[in-house]
Amino acid sequence: MLRWQTQTDTYFSHEVSDRVRVVACLTTLPNIIHSDSPGETLASSEWRTLKKAMGAIDDDTLVVVWGPRQDAVTGASEVVIRAREAAVGVPSETRQALRDCTNGFERILPGPNRMYPDTDLPPLRIQRERLITLGKKLPKPVWELEAWYRELGIPEDVVVPLSISQHANFFAAAVKDWGVPPVLAAVTLVQLPKRIAKKTGRQVPGAAMREVLRAVRDGVLAREGIQAVLERSAEEGGFSQEMLPAPCSGQELSAVIEECSGTLSGVLLRHPEKALQVLMGMIMNRVRGRCEGRLVARRAGTRVPEAQP
Which of 12, 25, 27 is CA-nearest to residue 82? Answer: 12
Q: Interior CA angle at 265 toward 261 and 271, to 5°?
A: 105
Say what the alpha-carbon torsion angle 45, 47, 48, 50 is, to the nearest 10 degrees: 130
Which of 273, 274, 281 is CA-nearest to residue 297? Answer: 281
Low-confidence winner among 24-28, 67-71, 228-232, 294-298 (lowest mean pLDDT)? 294-298
Region 268-281: what's the mean pLDDT?
70
Confidence (pTM): 0.48
Region 13-38: what's the mean pLDDT?
91
Distance CA 135, CA 173 (A): 20
Which of 221, 268, 267, 266 is CA-nearest to residue 247? Answer: 221
Residue 192 has pLDDT above 60, yes or no: yes
pLDDT digits (tens, 9 = 90+) for 138-158: 888 999 999 999 999 999 999
Q: With pLDDT > 70 as the criterion, what percentage of the chain qualifies?
A: 82
Asked if residue 196 lies in contact with residue 230, where contact means CB atoms within 8 angstroms, the answer is yes
222 vs 249, residue with greater confidence: 222
Q: What is the DSSP track for 54-68?
A: HT--TT---EEE-SS
Distance CA 30, CA 12 (A): 14
Distance CA 47, CA 56 (A): 10
306 vs 126, residue with greater confidence: 126
Q: How far is CA 290 from its chain centroid?
A: 35
Which of 20, 49, 23, 42 is CA-nearest to residue 32? Answer: 20
Q: With pLDDT > 90 as the criterion, what percentage of the chain qualifies?
A: 41
Asked if residue 3 lies in contact with residue 33, where contact means CB atoms within 8 angstroms, the answer is no
